[in-house]
Structure 1
């Protein structure tokens, strides 16, 4: 199994609208995707693009807002009302190979493999097995997202 690039950093927020203003007005971001609901995961999502080297796309910021009280992000925001870093997402070429790799290492996988916000298969690894960081593993998107 070979780890790919850091695709995005998930940032929980009580308000995507306010976070977009922050990234635009304070951080100077200029490229934002249209927010959308990802009901299967109980979140509203908005990606902020950061520039990479030589005109390529850099690592994205994934703003995640809860969709209702049952959202896992709602629980995170109860403990962190202002929001904050929620997870890191790394790309892999083959999600099933990666899942088998991590399982073979004894890492706890949280739930089944499912479609993520980029429309590609993902799974999450338990923070206690990943140096305290909730980690998302995402199959590399075929269209370059």
Structure 2
């Protein structure tokens, strides 16, 4: 094979051409994709605070995490302004928030109508130094115009799932 031109090779019925020159294609790594941003945001995300799971039976779910899995579980806290009751499961480096509807107009009631067994509802990420406002979020729809006080007594905003790859994202002021 002393030629420099591409020569076909046959393997299991597939014809391959020998590469003789030119750049080798490579996948764009996640870090390379991030570095191609034009300007970094004026704020940054912190740690994952919790993953919220909507449950049809809050007491049953709390017993499962406490009695079967051995986790430390908080008491039930009603949050009428959000239309939910919550229980937090402590996990050392983060939490699971169990959500149950509080009233018929609860957004969790609608979620459970579509997902009878329950399921992941949202992720909450801390934002050190305050919540982003204005320009950083102009391309992302918020579910409410102003931050509200969340389950931890801190301001929160929810980002529309259609703008976040199908995930409801809660940002919590750290």
Same fold, TM exceeding 0.5? yes
Q: Is 2:125 the counterpart of 1:62?
A: no
Contact 2:124 2:170 in 1 (8 A): yes
Distance 1:19 1:99 in 2: 36
Matched ranges for 1:126-145 at <5 A: 126-140=160-174
- The equivalent residue for 2:156 is 122
Count residues with an aligned counterpart: 131
Shift in Å at residue 93 of structure 1?
1.7
SS at match of 1:89: strand
**Matching residue of 1:16:** 58
Does the 8 Å CA contact 2:87/2:99 hold for their aligned counterparts? yes
Residue aligning to 1:72: 107
- 1:41 corresponds, among 82, 107, 110, to 82
Asked whether the equivalents of residues 95 and 137 of structure 1 are also in contact (C-alpha less than 8 Å), the reply is no
Instruction: Give the CA deviation at 1:131.
Output: 1.1
d(CA) in 2 for partners of 1:102, 1:26: 43
Aligned match of 1:143: none
Distance (Å, rounded) in 1 between the aligned partners of 2:61 and 2:107: 19
- Residue 101 of structure 1 and its aligned partner are, at CA, apart by 5.2
Structure with greater helix share of residues: 1
Residue 55 of structure 1: aligned partner: none
Higher relative contact order at CA 8 Å, sep ≥6: structure 1 or structure 2? 1
Verify the 8 A CA contact 2:65 2:73 in the aligned structure 1. Answer: no
Asked if 1:107 corresponds to 2:107, the answer is: no
Alignment of 1:73-88 (within 5 A): 73-88=108-123
Q: Quick check: which one's strand share is greater? A: 1
Structure 1 unpaired stretches of 5+: 52-57, 141-145
Rounded to whole Å, the distance in 2 between the matches of 1:66 and 1:23 is 19
Could you state the TM-score of these two structures normalised by the residue count of structure 2?
Answer: 0.71
